[in-house]
Chain A
Amino acid sequence: MAKVLMKGNEAIGAAAINAGCRYFFGYPITPQNELPEYMSRELPKVGGVFVQAESEVAAINMVYGAAGSGVRVMTSSSSPGIALKQEGISYIAGAELPAVIVNIVRGGPGLGSIQPSQSDYNQSTRGGGDGDYHLLVYAPANIQEMVDLLQEAFDKADFYRNPVMVMGDGMIGQMMEPVEFKERPEVDLPPKDWAATGTEGKRKPNVINSLFLKPEELEDHNIRLTEKYDAMKKNEQQWETYNMEKPEIICVAYGTTARIVKSAIDTLKAEGIEIGLIRPILVWPFPEKAFVELPETAKMFLSVEMSMGQMIDDIKIVNQGRLPVEFYGRSGGMIPSPDGVVQKIRALLGGAK
């Protein structure tokens, strides 16, 4: 299929419909409004349902209900709206249901700003709701990748029976880039024999629930969930590396920030300064396999984020004390410039000599 020019938020909607999503429940918030707008226009054309709920809490519980019936369902919001949805996300994880949640991140805490940010890293990777659970968290860096991963997210949600988050930021939601909707291979997925679709008097009812009053039963449930999360950690790590042959510094950045870092790397390479990049494509599970063997030339890590350094902890965990971990970030809706990254790297290298 030929390339089309699309705004990030609309491309997410098109990709979701392509992936078989027919149900969308949401509540407006900048900077993701083009996505529910797109769904409200396009879902009825394919026999789907769009509901603008009365609140974020209502929307996520509609997702919970729809997911329980085994259909492909999605919601989207931005940071404070996602915070409101955490209760429902925890219930969906507890009831082991597939759903896709899109977070187009804006500055926080609280109502914060409407400008791009990455300050929901902890909210996304550490939970946000109650209990022992995790989400797969995709963090695409451009709109083509957003489209490809969004479709993958639905398959993974079905495969693991677990909510999956796709995290962008205001920049990727608002910008336009060419995108191609590729033919996707059919993925072999288990039948949804757990779904509450009506028994027709032929079988016992399927019960969708996250309540386990007997401690033994809840512990067994937690152990089974943890086995699922361990399988995700083993099988779902994805990352990209850039200029990692002989870097003096290894940058770690995800999403749109990684693009800004690549610009900085290209600028420095032209001067003969070698800087590498490890870009997590999923931020949970964090790509620890990418950090097992490091180039001998590397003197330190530099975490570059649109937040105040929320990813540093994960880098320190996989670094296992081998190299210093430095940080450069902007926040509050300020976007790091390639030149800002270049200057930080110059300062770090100057200081190391």
Chain B
Amino acid sequence: MNEKFIFAGFGGQGVMLMGQLITYAGMFEDLEVSWLPSYGPEMRGGTANCSVIVSDKAVASPVISFDATTAVVMNLPSMDKFEQEVEKGGKLFVNSSLIERKSEREDIDVYYINANEVANELGNAKAANMVMLGAILEVTKVVTPESVLKALAKIFGTAKAHLIPLNEEALKRGAELVK
């Protein structure tokens, strides 16, 4: 296994967290992992993205360059930027709540997930990233949802522990969308 994920969206959509959760979960499952964020002067209010590698071999380069196995785009500028970075036969997860256009790629599998709408139905718009993550885990099987929840508990700590059931539900709803 050598999965290369790009997560992209605008600041506040939780794209960095999505990447970190898969990275943590991979570590819990004794896989080799790396998480590399984009950083720059344009971050505030602008686009954010991170590259995550989950592999059964030591991660050589943490950089993903037009060879992503999976790209996750949460808004239109991210779709425009990263749609072409998915390698042939790879996967693209599109947040169809915010992105109206369809992918131009015919050589990859595209999944349209109305993440914001489902999150709103759950009563918390912020959970859109977890709905998306649920779909990603169901399709890619890169790590188990149990490991992701373990990672979430670690990141949330006791202060935000009460949010875990909501996030768990969001993961399930996301998975159901692609079953």
Contacts and interface: CB of A to CB of B under 8 A. Distances in A.
Interface of A: 3, 5, 30-31, 114-115, 170-171, 174-178, 256, 259-260, 262-263, 266, 335, 337-339
- Sorted nearest first, the 3 A-B pairs with minimum C-beta distance are A337-B65, A176-B35, A263-B60
B22 to A, nearest CB: 11
B39 A31 contact: yes
Contacts of B62: 171, 175, 177, 256, 259
A328 to B, nearest CB: 14
B78 interface: no
B79 interface: no
Interface of B: 20, 23-24, 27, 33-37, 39-41, 59-63, 65-67
Nearest to B151: A5
A114 B39 CA distance: 9
Contacts of B65: 337-339
A262 B61 contact: yes
B39 A30 contact: yes
**Which residue among A30, A31, A263 has the maximum number of chain B CB atoms within 10 Å of its CB?**
A263
Nearest to B34: A177
A89 B60 CA distance: 34
Contacts of A266: 60
Nearest to A30: B39
Contacts of A5: 20, 23-24, 27, 33, 35
A178 B60 contact: no
Contacts of B20: 5, 176
16 contacts: A5-B35, A31-B39, A115-B40, A174-B37, A175-B35, A176-B23, A176-B36, A256-B62, A259-B59, A259-B61, A260-B63, A263-B60, A337-B61, A337-B66, A338-B65, A339-B65
B34 to A, nearest CB: 5
B4 to A, nearest CB: 11
A89 to B, nearest CB: 27
Contacts of B60: 259-260, 262-263, 266, 338
Nearest to B40: A114
B33 A178 contact: yes
